[in-house]
Amino acid sequence: MKDVPRALRGYLWAIYAACAALLLLQAPLLPATLARPGVLLAAAVFAALTCMSEAMTLQMTRASSQTISGTAHIALILLFPPPLPLFIALGAALVAELPQRRPIYKRAFNACVAALAVGLTSLALAPIPAPLLLRPGHVAGALPALGLLIALYYLLSSAPLVGVLSLVTGRRPWAVWRAEQQPAVLPEVATVALGILVAVVWRFDPLLLALCAPPVAALHAALRTTARAFAAEERAETALVQASVDGLTGLLNHRAFHARLDEEIARAARTGRPLALLMIDLDDFRAVNNAHGHPAGDATLVAIAAAVRASVRTADIAGRYGGDEFAAVLPETDLDEALTVAERTRAAIAAATIEARGVAVRTTTSLGVACLPRHARTRDALIGAADGAAYAAKDAGKDRVRSADDDPRVSLLRRSKIS
């Protein structure tokens, strides 16, 4: 817990202290509660059911899941007087957290949240006799108390987690709830409503409780199938990303870069907006490999990729074109703005230093810039124009930027089209 921020650490200790205080205040009442006729057996049954509910996870969305412990918690609150719900909920939560590999402070937090939510809600509803809430034919009169039960339990079970996420992310609690908790509100209400039904069934005939098992099992199986579908989709997306990314530099690979370039060219044709292409060719890269070895060459490529990624804009698309050559697509960018980005990229690459075998390795690059529709109208022609400009930069002395206007072949072609 030493690596936990101080504010979050204090928050966690406050949760632990609140739970400990509640347990100490309620513990003296436990023996008398268990001494009531029939309570011990019923408590054992619901303790087992609560442990089972803690183990049953429902996958709601790709990013969120929850247990159905709320069902058991609500039934405990309705069927048993304090402090029995508190101790059953805490015991079940501790049993559920024992096999987890989370840090101890996280497991303690989860168990304390369950205990506080159940214990405090149970105390709030204690003045209302349970038979009045569950009496047949008096549902309308019990609705306000049941509504209070649902609202209070949801607030007490959600607020501590929202507080943790707010401290970790620095976002306002309302924004955290809307992003993290709101998608699970309906499933939470469903599990709570099921808990009320469980309590009613138990009051009517405990043996009928077995009828609640099939729908819960069916729901669990259906959502488990959904979870598997989410997992398969994530694996497919991961595979697609890996197939599109260069394994060394993390930039788009040659094939994926061409695909994105085609998309941007088509979009530029539809909108009539300009498009720029940067071809970035390292100067004398073979000398780096020959002098320092291929590991140093790989480290250099990684550093150059990072410099390119940091120099282009958020909307730009960078890729490793092949070998020691990189490229970047600059959507909705004219020649002047593209030359500014290219010069910034050149300077960042020239300033990058790579340590190899105790020696500082530095390299420069020659950049070529070409634009649609100024220099070309097709993908191949645009790449050829930018590549020609990069060679013009090398012919001019390297470590510089040239546009396709500086390539005599492109300039001649443009003059012939104008005339």
- Mean pLDDT highest for which of 9-18, 294-303, 374-383? 9-18
Q: For position 413, what pLDDT does the model report? A: 45
The tens digit of pLDDT for each residue in 8-62 reads: 999 999 999 999 999 999 999 999 888 888 888 899 999 998 998 888 766 555 5
Structure tokens at 113: 């949240």
Closest residue by Cα to residue 199 from 40, 30, 72, 87: 72
Report the range of poorest mean pLDDT among 178-192, 291-305, 377-391.
178-192
Coil, helix or strand for 228? helix
Q: Which residues of the chain form CATH 3.30.70.270?
A: 254-418
Strand pairing of 365-372 and 401-403?
A: parallel
Between 211 and 342, the more confident residue is 342
Q: What is the tens place of the pLDDT at every residue in 145-197?
A: 888 888 999 999 999 999 998 888 888 998 888 887 887 787 788 888 888 88
* CATH architecture of the domain formed by 254-418: 2-Layer Sandwich (3.30)
Could you give the CA distance from residue 263 to residue 252 in angstroms, rounded to a whole number? 14
In this prediction, what percent of the chain has a pLDDT beyond 90?
41
Burial class (CB in 10 A: 0-12, 13-18, 19+), 286: exposed
pLDDT at 183: 72
184-188, 199-203, 334-338: which has the minimum mean pLDDT? 184-188
DSSP 76-95: HHHHS-TTHHHHHHHHHHHH
Cα three-residue angle 370-374-379, rounded to 5 degrees: 60
273-301 average pLDDT score = 87
Name the average pLDDT for the chain: 84
Residue 205: pLDDT over 50: yes
414 pLDDT above the threshold of 80? no
Instruction: State the average pLDDT over residues 384-413.
Output: 82
Give the HSE-up count for residue 170: Cα atoms under 13 Å, Cβ half-sphere. Answer: 1
At residue 83, the pLDDT reads 93
Report the pLDDT value the prediction gives residue 419, as an integer from 0 to 100: 33
Confidence band, pLDDT 50/70/90 cuts, at residue 412: very low
Residues 6+ apart with CB under 8 A from 134: 78, 142, 199, 200, 203
pLDDT at 418: 37
The pLDDT value recorded for residue 88 is: 95
